[in-house]
Amino acid sequence: MGFQKKTLELFDKVNGILAEYDGPLTLRQIYYRLVAAQYIENVQKAYTLLSKHLTNARRAGIVDPNRIIDRTRRTLKVPTWTDLEEFLEAVSRSYRREKWATGQQRNVEVWCEKDAVAGVLEPITEEFEVVLYPCRGYNSYSALLEAAERIAGKQQPTTILYLGDFDPSGQDMPRDIRDRLHNDFGVSVDLQVIALTPEQIEQFDLPPAPAKKSDSRAANFIARHGDMAVELDALPPDELQRLVREGIEEFVDLSTFQQEEETEAEEQRRLEQLIRDTRAT
The domain ranges of the chain are: 5-67, 105-252
* Structure confidence at residue 91 (pLDDT): 80
User: Which residue stretches of the chain have pLDDT < 70?
Assistant: 1, 73-74, 281
* Structure confidence at residue 274 (pLDDT): 82
* Structure confidence at residue 5 (pLDDT): 92
Q: What is the pLDDT of residues 29-81, one digit of tens each?
A: 899 889 888 899 888 999 999 999 999 999 999 999 999 988 776 677 888 98
CA dist 167 and 215 (Å) reads: 9
* Structure confidence at residue 211 (pLDDT): 87
* Structure confidence at residue 1 (pLDDT): 64
* Structure confidence at residue 168 (pLDDT): 94
CA dist 198 and 205 (Å) reads: 10
> For the whole prediction, is pTM greater than 0.85?
no
* Structure confidence at residue 136 (pLDDT): 85
* Structure confidence at residue 260 (pLDDT): 93
Give the residues across from 129 on adjacent strands.
Answer: none
- Give the architecture-level CATH label for domain 105-252: 3-Layer(aba) Sandwich (3.40)
